[in-house]
Structure formats: C-alpha cells, structure tokens
C-alpha cells in the first residue's frame, strides 16, 4: 500500500483504488447483559465510546467524524436513532453516518469508518454500534408475517437451522461438532469480563442435554439476547504513529452482498462470503489464511456456523471445517483460535456484534485482550455476516503496517 | 395480524392484491439517569431542563450536552408556563396523538428555558392560536412518569388554573399518588404500524392461481430457472421473467427444521416442522409445513405432496395448502437436490 493516487486497475473485479494507511487506535465495549435498565440507548453507546476513547488516550474533541451502526429499527422501535444519538456520540457539528447491513452492520460500520480514513477524508473516525434487545423482542421483529404467505417464520434460528442441517449432511460432520463449539466459546467467554454469558463449567454433556429450540439447534448452541454497545477509534498513519499505545493496523477490508434467496444460492457456503474472503486475503497479501492468521473473531450466532465459516473463509477446504473444530484447533492455543472472546454465542447485542468481532481482533494484535489474549497474536481476522447470509464484512488487522 | 382480504369485486383481475399488515409492540424504554429525573418530575407536575455548557437551558433535558458532550450536572425546574414560538394546526388528529379533537402542534419555550419543546395546544380553533401566545400545561389526572403526563398545553387566557402550577406541584411532590416516591426508570412506548401490503403483479397472478388450486411459477429467459413464487425478474440475470409455468403439487423436502420454541407473534403453535419444499420442475424451494408423519421421520430428500384445504376455503394465499405430507415414494438421491441447499 502507498499514498499514491489511484491507478487504473487490471482485472474486471479489482477496481479498488490505492488508499492510505489506517489503524485502530482504541476499542471499547459495554458489559453485555440481557437487560441494562439503568441506561438509555444513548447511555449504553456512551459507555462504549468513553472506553474506546480512554483506550486510545483521546477525547471526543479529537474525533473528526462518527459512523454509527445498528440492526433494523424495529428492534427498538426508534426510527433513525442516529439523529437523537448525535449528542451522546459527540457528533454534533461533525459528519455523522448511519450504516445498515442487518446483522453484519457492526462489521460494515468498521469498514465504512476505516474507509473514511483510508480515503484521506478524516484523521480520526469513531465507529459505534449497538443494540438494546431488552427494549423489544428480536425474534418477534424477525418474524413479521406478511399477508398471503405461510406464517412459518421463526426468527433467525428458524431461518438458519435448515441450512445448518444442510451443512451437516453435505460435510458428513459428526453430530456433536456444534456442541463442541458451544463449549469452547462459552468457556472462552468466561475469560472475558465483558461477555454476557460466562460459563466456565459448561460441558459437552450439558450442551447436548439442553432443549432443542430449532432442531438441529439446541438452546446452548444459540446466541443470547443482549444489551450492549461497542466503539472503535480509527486513525490515519500520523495519528497511529502519534499514539503512545499499541495500535492495530488495518491491512485490508472487504464487503460483499448477494440476494437472500435465488435459484442456486449456496446457503451453506455463500458465494458473497467466499468472494469477500478471497478479496480480503488478496488485499492483505495472505496466501494461506490458516498459516498467516493468528486469531479469528468470526460471527457465529449458532454454534455450527464456526465450521461453516471456516470453510467459507478459506481456513479449511469445503467439508473440512468441522475437523479443525473437532481437533481443538479453534481453541486458544490451537492452529486458528476462533472467538477467544466467546464471540456472538456469549454476547449478542445484534447491531454491535459485528463491530465486537472487529474490535476483539484489534485487541488481540494490540495485546490488550487480557485473559482471553492469544499469546503472540500479530495478525487477526474480524468477520461479520447478516441478513439471510446476504451481507459479509471483514477486515485483517496486524501489529505492523505492512 | 389481519387475515388477507379478498380483492374487491370491482378491482380488475390484473390489479395487484393488497391486504392490511398490522405490526404492533409495546417497547420498554429504560430512561437512564437524566430522562428518569425528567419523567419522575412530570409525575410530580414539575418540568425539568438541563443547563448546558453554554449556559443555555434545554427542555426536555439533553442526556448529553450538545456543546461539551458531558452529562448535565443538575436539572433545573422551568415553566410550567411558556410562550408559543411557532405552531401548526392539526384539523384531523390521528391515532396516538395527544388529543382526539383538533389542536395545534406547537413549539413552546417554557419560562426559564432556552429551547422549545414540541407539544399540543388545546386552543379550540386555529383562530385562537398565535405566535407569542402564552400557554400553560394541563396535567393528566393520573400521572405515571411519561411525556403524556402533560395532557397538552392550554392558553393562559382560558382563565384560572384548576390543577395547580409547577411551583405548587414541586412543593407537593413528596406524596405523588401511585409513584410511592420512587423514581421512574422505565417507560412503555406502544408502537402501532398499519401497512397496506401490496403484492407484485407476478405474485398476485400466482396468488390468484392458488385460489384456483394451481401452482404458477415463472421461468427466467436467460438461465431457464423456474421461480415459485414468481419474482417478475430473475435475481441472478436481472431480466424480466414473463413465461408462466404451471407446476405440480409434488416435490421433495430439501432441508428442514423443527420449531420447538414458542415466541411472541407466533401463528402456528410449536412444535411444527418447517421444511424447504422444492416442487418438481422448480429451481427454488419455498418454506411450508410438513404433517402426516412424525417429525423424526422427515428426511432430506423425502418426497411430499400438497394437502389442500377444502376448495370452499381457498383464498389468495399460500395457506390454501394446509401442509405437505409424505407420498411414500423412495427418497430423491442427495445429488439430485444438493445444488438446492
């Protein structure tokens, strides 16, 4: 990467301009809970913002622009909450953008904020994402039954469970793989002081004994419903070099989209996700993700999505993702630790969940992840998906600029 | 949700079908420290504002100062009377608005405040409204710590106040009926959305065919794939799909889940088996219900046929098919539907 102007690109899909360096200067999040009745939505966001700014050693006055992301407005019933949140986010008198890409929105928010810096428009940009699920009922909001149709919608679980069944059939994975992921993530969450669910004593047996919600998805293999927020400060090269604290250099970002349903859509291994990953690795100069990525924070709202996304992202060949899980390679200390924070399975403030993956990946390469730090992590992936496996956003961060 | 209504007889058969879609939820707002004080104040007939870093008093109070971005230090009582800065007459009040009869929406700067608050003024007629007029709150008889504790504002010219003013209310605040002296921390916000959901022309044709017991899809002229319900355009090729294809009511289960979890808004009691059904000749599956066997007997690749409701009950809806049931034929081989997963 260099600061040169855009060059005409070769290849019909590589129309990206060269861009400037950007880095995560600080990250912050709330203690995620099922209910935060003590704060408003604004107060929830501000907690994360204050922690991110403290982490970066900056104040709101140092911020040039604010990007905010959240999932569908029906989740809290506040139309365009970014308008009322401007004061809480310190955005008054500054550019304020709202991003919306369903459940992947936190990741997309990080990508948009990074792009504002990479484009040279702003020196320091604040990315904020949130969800206060306790104000409503996301399963209801995701199951609105329009006239003329069969009223079969049953939330995200009802949508994804059949595709998980398809994965199990296609890959031949043993039935307990999903439970292994749940055990690993919940135990990891116990190391994360911000995690909503912290279950150090969970076992394979207890997960398999938990109620079947959307067969084949069990209760303990399902993300919780959380109130929470996350914030990240992204700065340009000068801001990063001026920082007295470790920063996470953004090596590459990538986003892709495809329709929710079309004839030939691969719901197990979606094309948009695979294309986004291929573009990401190319941009970051990574040829073998499993060898070159030290830790991955992947959007896994239902346990089986760990092996599915390991394949979609190229950490394993199609059909082989579950073998990494089964061999313990996705645990801290394994070949590719996945979700050392506990991931979405431990905390799911939906709009924030993607940015949490991005923030946690940055914390890993900054060396600030505390008890769930992957020792020596230098290069990390943050990943999010949303809609009906429709939106994908991801980034690679590292402890050095190139 | 309201059941889909049949199209009016006067509508041409080509007109898109349309039916009401009602969405409602009582959202539960946690107020946070600043708005909690404001709402608690309203229950006690006191209106509070925040003093900003620039010395201005904001009403309602700002949770975070627009200038310094810091939370406000103290809240200060304002009003309760104020001045109308501008207004707009609402001749036909709608559901959820403060008054049932015509009123004015007004921006009201309460005495002691620097910003204006939006509220209703019950002036009787537009002729009694004017910029600069003095108004005072009319308090709701029963207050619960909600913006609606101010029923509306009324012209000061209307004569003596019956329910007391803010100063008196503040001195009486120790004993607020129903509040037990506790701060208000939560507020319920009912949201009611009334949509008229309109199907596309292609979906309407599909639904009218369903009413006649037929299943109509459309073939993409570019890729040749058959969509049911028809989309009107192929999402892959981006070209219009004009060729109708009648499909049989038999097919296979590609994949499925058993929904065991009950939830708000559910219309089919759990547990139920929701399957992706790929009709013979179609290239995309749709979700439907499987009955006629135990849930643990349902398999990927299982052959199924539609079980229709009695023809007398048919309408323009996918619910004309009560469910799908096993045909008893051998399962389709995995390879035959693997690309539909």
Confidence tier at B312 by pLDDT (50, 70, 90)? very high
- DSSP tag of B95: T
- Residue B128: how many CB atoms within 10 A of its CB? 14
Among the partner-chain residues A169, A262, A268, the one whose CB lies closest to the CB of B236 is A262
Percent of residues in chain B assigned helix, strand, coil, to nearest 5: 15, 35, 50
Residues in chain B, how many? 341
Q: How far is CA B138 from the centre of its chain?
A: 30
Give the number of beta-carbon pairs within 8 Å between A and B. Answer: 191
Strand bridging mode A391-398 / A379-386: antiparallel
Q: Return the bridge partners of A236, or none.
A: A22
User: How close does chain A come to B131, measured CA to CA in Å?
Assistant: 27
Q: Chain B closest CA to A35's CA: distance in Å?
A: 9
pLDDT tens-digit series, residues A355-388: 999 999 999 999 999 999 999 999 999 999 999 9
B33, A264: Cβ pair inside 8 Å?
no
> Quick one: pLDDT at residue B73?
87
Phi, psi of B137 (to 5 degrees): -70, 145
Tokens read off for A334: 């394994």
Contact between residue A214 and residue A165 where contact means Cβ atoms under 8 Å apart: no
What percent of chain A shows pLDDT beyond 70? 96
The Cα B172–Cα B164 span in angstroms is: 10
Position A153 scores a pLDDT of 80
List, in order, residues 6 or more apart from B98 with CB less than 8 Å away.
Answer: B119, B120, B148, B151, B152
pLDDT of res. A186: 98
Question: What confidence category does residue B74 fall into, taking pLDDT thresholds of 50, 70 and 90?
Answer: confident
Alpha-carbon separation of residue B23 from A145, B117, B264 (angstroms): 9, 29, 12
Closest CA to A399 of A274, A374, A384: A374
C-alpha span between B147 and A401 (Å, rounded): 52
**Cβ atoms A58, A26 nearer than 8 A:** yes
In contact, A110 and A352? CB cutoff 8 Å = no
Q: Rounded mean pLDDT of chain B? A: 89
| Angle at B317 (CA atoms; ends B311, B323), nearest 5 degrees | 70
Q: Taking CA atoms, what residue in B is nearest to A139?
A: B263
Q: Give the mean model confidence (pLDDT) for residues B24-35.
A: 95
**pLDDT value at B167 more than 50:** no
Instruction: Enter the DSSP assignment of B223.
Output: T
Q: Which of A322, A323, A329 is nearest to A290 (CA)?
A: A329
Q: Supply the pTM of this predicted model.
A: 0.92
* Interface ipTM: 0.89
Question: Cβ–Cβ of A162/B275 closer than 8 Å?
Answer: yes
Instruction: Name the nearest CA neighbour of A293 among A323, A314, A275.
Output: A314
What is the distance between the alpha carbons of residues A231 and A127, in angstroms, rounded to a whole number? Answer: 5
Cα separation, B327 vs B288, in Å, equals 16
- pLDDT, tens only, A184-210: 999 999 999 999 999 999 999 999 999
Report the 10 Å Cβ neighbour count for A168: 22
For B101-148, what is each residue's pLDDT tens digit? 999 999 999 999 999 999 999 999 999 999 999 999 999 999 999 999
């Amino acid at each position: 990467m260099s600061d040169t102007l855009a060059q005409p690109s070769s290849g019909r899909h590589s129309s990206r301009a060269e861009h400037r360096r950007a880095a995560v200067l600080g990250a912050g999040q709330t203690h995620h809970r099922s209910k935060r009745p003590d704060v408003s939505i604004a107060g929830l966001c501000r907690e994360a913002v204050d922690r991110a700014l403290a982490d970066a050693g900056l104040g709101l006055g140092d911020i040039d622009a604010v990007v905010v992301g959240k999932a569908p407005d029906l989740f809290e019933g506040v139309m365009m909450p970014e308008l009322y949140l401007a004061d809480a986010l310190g955005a008054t008198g500054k550019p304020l953008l709202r991003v919306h890409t369903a459940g992947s929105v936190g990741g997309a928010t990080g990508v948009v904020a990074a792009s504002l810096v990479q484009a040279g428009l702003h020196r320091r940009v604040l990315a904020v994402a949130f969800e206060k699920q306790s104000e409503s009922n996301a399963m209801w909001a995701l199951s609105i039954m329009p006239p003329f149709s069969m009223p079969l919608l049953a939330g995200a679980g009802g949508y994804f469970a059949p595709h998980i069944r398809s994965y199990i059939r296609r890959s031949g994975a043993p039935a307990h793989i999903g439970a292994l992921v749940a055990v690993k993530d919940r135990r990891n969450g116990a190391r994360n002081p911000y995690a909503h669910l912290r279950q150090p004593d969970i076992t394979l047996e207890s997960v398999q004994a938990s109620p079947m919600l959307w067969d084949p998805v069990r209760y303990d293999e399902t993300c919780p419903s959380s109130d929470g927020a996350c914030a990240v400060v992204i700065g340009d090269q000068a801001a990063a070099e001026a920082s007295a604290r470790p920063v996470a250099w953004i090596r590459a970002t990538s986003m892709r989209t495809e329709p929710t349903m079309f004839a030939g859509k691969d719901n197990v291994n979606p094309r948009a996700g695979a294309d986004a990953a291929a573009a990401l690795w190319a941009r970051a100069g990574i040829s073998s993700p499993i060898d070159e990525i030290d830790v991955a924070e992947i959007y896994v709202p239902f346990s089986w999505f760990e092996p599915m996304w390991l394949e979609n992202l190229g950490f394993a060949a199609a059909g082989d993702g579950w073998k990494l899980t089964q061999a313990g390679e996705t645990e801290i200390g394994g070949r590719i630790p996945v979700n050392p924070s506990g991931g979405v399975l431990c905390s799911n403030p939906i709009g924030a969940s993607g940015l949490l993956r991005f923030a946690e990946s940055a914390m890993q390469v900054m060396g600030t992840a505390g008890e769930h730090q992957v020792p020596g992590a230098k290069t990390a992936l943050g990943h999010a998906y949303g809609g009906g496996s429709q939106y994908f956003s991801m980034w690679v961060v590292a402890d050095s600029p190139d | 949700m309201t059941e889909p209504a049949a199209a009016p007889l006067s509508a041409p058969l080509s007109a898109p079908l349309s039916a009401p879609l009602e969405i409602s939820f009582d959202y539960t707002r946690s107020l946070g420290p600043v708005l909690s004080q404001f709402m608690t104040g309203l229950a006690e007939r006191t209106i509070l504002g925040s003093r900003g870093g620039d010395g201005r008093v904001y009403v309602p109070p700002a949770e975070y100062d627009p200038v310094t971005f810091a939370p406000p230090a103290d809240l200060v009582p304002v009003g309760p009377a104020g001045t109308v800065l501008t207004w707009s007459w609402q001749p036909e009040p709608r559901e959820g608005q403060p008054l049932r009869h015509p009123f004015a929406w007004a921006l009201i700067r309460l005495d002691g405040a620097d910003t204006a608050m939006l509220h209703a003024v019950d002036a009787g007629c537009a002729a009694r409204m004017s910029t600069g007029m003095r108004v005072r709150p009319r308090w709701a008889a029963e207050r619960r710590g909600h913006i609606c504790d101010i029923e509306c504002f009324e012209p000061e010219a209307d004569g003596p106040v019956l329910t007391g003013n803010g100063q008196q209310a503040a001195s009486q605040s120790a004993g607020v009926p129903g509040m037990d002296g506790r701060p208000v921390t939560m507020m319920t916000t009912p949201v009611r959305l009334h949509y008229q959901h309109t199907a596309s022309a292609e979906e309407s044709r599909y639904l009218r065919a369903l009413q006649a017991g037929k299943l109509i899809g459309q073939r993409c002229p570019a890729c040749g794939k058959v969509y049911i319900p028809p989309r009107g355009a192929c999402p892959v090729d981006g070209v219009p799909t004009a060729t109708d294809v009648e499909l049989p009511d038999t097919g296979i289960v590609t994949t499925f889940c058993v929904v065991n979890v009950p939830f708000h808004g559910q219309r089919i009691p759990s547990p139920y088996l929701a399957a992706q059904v790929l009709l013979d000749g179609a290239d995309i599956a749709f979700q439907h219900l499987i009955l006629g066997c135990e849930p643990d007997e349902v398999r990927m690749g299982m052959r199924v046929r539609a079980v229709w409701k009695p023809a007398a009950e048919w309408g323009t809806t996918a619910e004309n098919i009560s469910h799908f049931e096993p045909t008893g034929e051998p399962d389709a081989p995995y390879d035959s539907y693997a690309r539909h997963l």
